Amino acid sequence: MKHVLGVDGGGTKTTARVLGIGPNGRLCLLASGHAGGSNPLSVGRDASHAAVSAAIKAAADGAGVPIDAAVIAVAGCGSPAAQEQLEAWAESQAFALQTKVVPDTEPLLADVPAGDVAIGLIAGTGSAALVRGPNGATELVGGWGYLIDDAGSGYTIGRDALRHVAQRWDRGESADALSEAILQHAGIESESPLALKGSLYGGPDPRGWTATLARIVLGLAEKGDPAAQRIVADNAAALTQLATYAASRIGPSDRPRIALAGGVVLGSCYYRHLLFEQLTAAGWRRDQITLAADAACACGLLAARLC
């Protein structure tokens, strides 16, 4: 049996999975490993390499088998130069007999048949859409990063929650449930929200820390908090708009299959349900909206094609 490794590196976490390729070509998960975020634009190159290495080591130790091929996808490594650098480092570490680095959007459509027109829509720490057209070519829509636009991502949900806290303070209003939850997460008294600036800007990864707030916002939204629900609804609408932009690259009224991915979408039933509703209102049928394969496993599928 041949064995492959798939690695998905995001802004807040990195996942590695070792899979075996059976005689019928089916993949069997043997072991997984996890580490912190590995986007080099957020955590730096050394920390990125350390996270990828730690996740791979945990998975490889758990599997206890030699790795024939590996595919690594890390956010923030979309340019050819960044991919070449990461690939050279990975090869120097001898994680596998052969290693390939791909853009972090490529695994989105790994399990979609090659001839199918489709959109992969990801909302994790950041967001992006990958479009595959009728000729099989792929195109990235969105993915501009948090300084320009990360529509519907964990970062923008967290950022909007921080704005909510700041605006209530500036208006002289007392902290509501959402503000209290954000301040408590930061270890700050509700009477001292200005200390948020120190927690945010003084940390090593402000973007990643902001993205962790999405879990709090989504949890409160699911419980009926109106402020949290407004933030989540606005971000679902922004993500739907991104999907609509992506679909327009194929045709003005086409609504191809759309595969949802990313920790924010896959980790929250509430957000996923809201996104389903908004996508159907934008013209997608429910049977056209599916969940993408686990990103690390999808990288493993890409690695299996190298064997």
pLDDT tens-digit map of 65-86 = 999 999 999 998 888 999 999 9
Q: How far is CA 54 from CA 51, 64, 154, 255, in A?
A: 5, 15, 24, 40
Residues 263, 300: one domain? no
The string of DSSP letters for 183-251 reads HHHTT--TT-GGGHHHHHHTSS-HHHHHHHHHHHHHHHHHTT-HHHHHHHHHHHHHHHHHHHHHHHTT-
118-123 and 13-21 as β-strands: parallel, antiparallel, unpaired? unpaired
pLDDT tens for each residue of 230-270: 999 999 999 999 999 999 998 766 789 999 999 899 999 99
Residue-wise pLDDT for 23-33, tens only, equals: 888 899 999 99
Question: Residue 300: is its pLDDT beyond 80?
Answer: yes
If asked whether residues 71 and 159 sit together in one domain, one would say: no
Are both 72 and 166 inside the same structural domain? Answer: no
**169-202: per-residue pLDDT in tens?**
999 999 999 999 999 999 998 788 888 998 888 8
**Shared-domain flag, residues 254 and 273:** yes
Same domain, 189 and 92: no
pLDDT in tens, 268-283: 999 999 999 999 999 9
Q: CA-CA distance, 246 to 128, in Å (whole number)?
A: 9
What is the number of structural domains in the chain? 2
Question: Which pLDDT band, with edges at 50, 70 and 90, does 5 fall under?
Answer: very high
Is the domain of 253 the same as that of 191?
Answer: yes
- The pTM of this model reads 0.83
Contact 166, 196 (CB under 8 A): yes
What average pLDDT does range 160-174 have in this prediction?
95
42 band by pLDDT with thresholds 50, 70 and 90:
confident
- The phi and psi torsions of 100 (rounded to 5 degrees) equal -130, 140
pLDDT of residue 253: 67
Please tell me the distance from the alpha carbon of residue 41 to that of residue 45, in angstroms, as a whole number.
8
Average pLDDT, rounded, for the chain: 93
Q: Are residues 164 and 226 in the same domain?
A: yes
Instruction: Report the pLDDT averaged over residues 45-49.
Output: 95
Beta partners for 31?
A: 18
Percentage of residues of the chain with pLDDT beyond 70: 99
Task: Tell me the CATH number at 271.
Answer: 3.30.420.40
Burial class (CB in 10 A: 0-12, 13-18, 19+), 87: middle
Same domain, 206 and 249: yes
Predicted pLDDT at 83: 92
Percent of the chain with pLDDT over 90: 76
Looking at the fold, whether 175 and 260 belong to one and the same domain comes out as: yes
> Minimal CA–CA distance to 74: which of 27, 35, 118?
35
**68 SS3 class:** coil
First to last CA, the chain: 11
pLDDT for 156 beyond 90? yes
Strands in the chain per DSSP E: 2-9, 13-21, 27-36, 69-74, 98-102, 118-123, 127-132, 138-142, 257-261, 289-291
Nearest to 10 by CA among 30, 32, 40: 40
pLDDT of residue 155: 96
Domain shared by 11 and 99, yes or no: yes
**Residue whose C-alpha is closest to residue 58's, from 16, 86, 93:** 16
Whole-angstrom distance, CA of residue 155 vs CA of residue 212: 8
pLDDT band at 101 (very low <50, low <70, confident <90, very high): very high
Same domain, 134 and 86: no
Q: Nearest-5° angle of CA 87, CA 92, CA 96?
A: 75
Q: Token pair 């950041």 is at which residue?
A: 126
Residues 30 and 118 in one domain: no
Task: Domain of residue 243: give its range.
Answer: 114-291
Select from 130, 134, 99 the least CA-distant residue to 7: 99
Q: How far is CA 258 from CA 33, 89, 157, 255, 266, in A?
A: 28, 34, 22, 8, 14
